[in-house]
Amino acid sequence: MLWIQVLVNGLALGGLYACIAAGFSLVWGVLNIINILHGSLIVLGGYLAFFAHQQFGVSPFVLAPFAGAATFLIGFALQRFVVNPVMGRPVLITLVLTFGLNLFLDNAMLATFKADYRKINLQPPLGVAEFGNIIVPIDRIYATAEGLALVGALWLLLRFTQLGRAIVAVRMDRDAAALMGINVSWTYAIAFGLGTFMAGASGALLAAIFPISPVSSSGYLGKAFVICVLGGLGSIPGVVLGGFVLGVIESFGALALGPENALTISFVLLLILLVVKPTGLLGRKGFA
């Protein structure tokens, strides 16, 4: 039964991992920017939920959309005033820019919050759900369910709203989209803001399960990168599939090699996939 328990543990994290990667994939797919800042925004969302829970006692599962809204405003402003002037430049320029922003935010959080790990302790604890001999923490069930709901809402927005169609149009051909009357710069800012919304919301959910610290931002960025490549850039279903696959592989890898090697296992998986199937499992040209 041990392997079933390990499998369930991995699946219980899959939805949360998908939420971590969805915003990263959106920004990469639409703006052609590898947003190195993404991991730090996840941690910032975790801190917002942590202090809001500490001050007002509100559940992080309720706070997640509000943490996402706060990081949306940060992301929107960053794109409008910092990133937008270098849009259309070689990808190395935007890579260096977001790397610099990441260093700034990481060091600002280190100076403000220190490097201590902090975790939201729910009172009373949610306990565990038992299915025969299988035990699943209820907080993980809540986090993965809400993570999947947020990813589903993003997919619906992209697929069935005028804003979503504008984002897809800009992704496919920005010049043609501009000729059709779409404000390209505003669409870029909103798409970047949506990516940071997903980062902040997933950070709030993470803080209810794992300890957070500014020094852990690179780990979350690495997971987002692996999931995007694993599922296929430009595919929301691919991000969901990649999240569950990574969760299961990490869970079995932790059993075999120890939890301290989980990130190493992720990058080995990334290297193998880049050689075998560089487009990912469900990769596609346009953002569905």
Q: What are phi and psi of 163, to 5 degrees?
A: -60, -45
Average pLDDT (163-184) is 90
Percentage of the chain lying above the pLDDT 70 cut: 97
Q: How many CB atoms lie within 10 A of CB 193?
A: 23
Question: Does the structure show a pLDDT above 70 at 283?
Answer: no
The segment with the largest mean pLDDT, out of 49-58, 64-73, 243-252, is 64-73
Q: 3-state SS string over 8-43?
A: HHHHHHHHHHHHHHHHHHHHHHHHCCCCCCHHHHHH
Beta pairing partners, 130 = 135
pLDDT value at position 288?
Answer: 43
Average pLDDT (87-115) is 90
Average pLDDT, the chain: 88
Q: How confident is the model at residue 174 (pLDDT cuts 50, 70, 90)?
A: confident
Between 89 and 47, the higher pLDDT residue: 47
pLDDT value at position 286?
Answer: 46
Question: Does the structure show a pLDDT above 50 at 219?
Answer: yes
Identify whether the C-beta of residue 278 lies closer than 8 Å to the C-beta of residue 50: no
Phi-psi group of 235: left, alpha or beta (phi > 0 → left; psi -120 to 50 → alpha; rest → beta): beta
Average pLDDT (177-184) is 90
Identify whether the C-beta of residue 27 lies closer than 8 Å to the C-beta of residue 39: no
Identify whether the C-beta of residue 76 lies closer than 8 Å to the C-beta of residue 206: no
Question: Does the structure show a pLDDT above 60 at 256?
Answer: yes
pLDDT value at position 284?
Answer: 59
C-alpha span between 227 and 245 (Å, rounded) = 8
Q: How confident is the model at residue 52 (pLDDT cuts 50, 70, 90)?
A: very high
Residue whose entry in the numeric block shows the structure tokens 């937008």: 84
Write the CA distances from 272 to 137, 230, 237, integer angstroms: 32, 10, 21
pLDDT value at position 133?
Answer: 82
Question: Does the structure show a pLDDT above 70 at 62?
Answer: yes
C-alpha span between 183 and 56 (Å, rounded) = 40
Q: Which two tokens stand for residue 195?
A: 């990516």
Q: How confident is the model at residue 162 (pLDDT cuts 50, 70, 90)?
A: very high
Average pLDDT (126-151) is 89
Q: Which two tokens stand for residue 90?
A: 């070689």
Please report which helix (H) or strand (E) contains residue 137, including its range: strand 134-137
Between 139 and 268, the higher pLDDT residue: 139
pLDDT value at position 131?
Answer: 83
Q: How confident is the model at residue 287 (pLDDT cuts 50, 70, 90)?
A: very low
pLDDT value at position 91?
Answer: 81
Average pLDDT (239-245) is 89
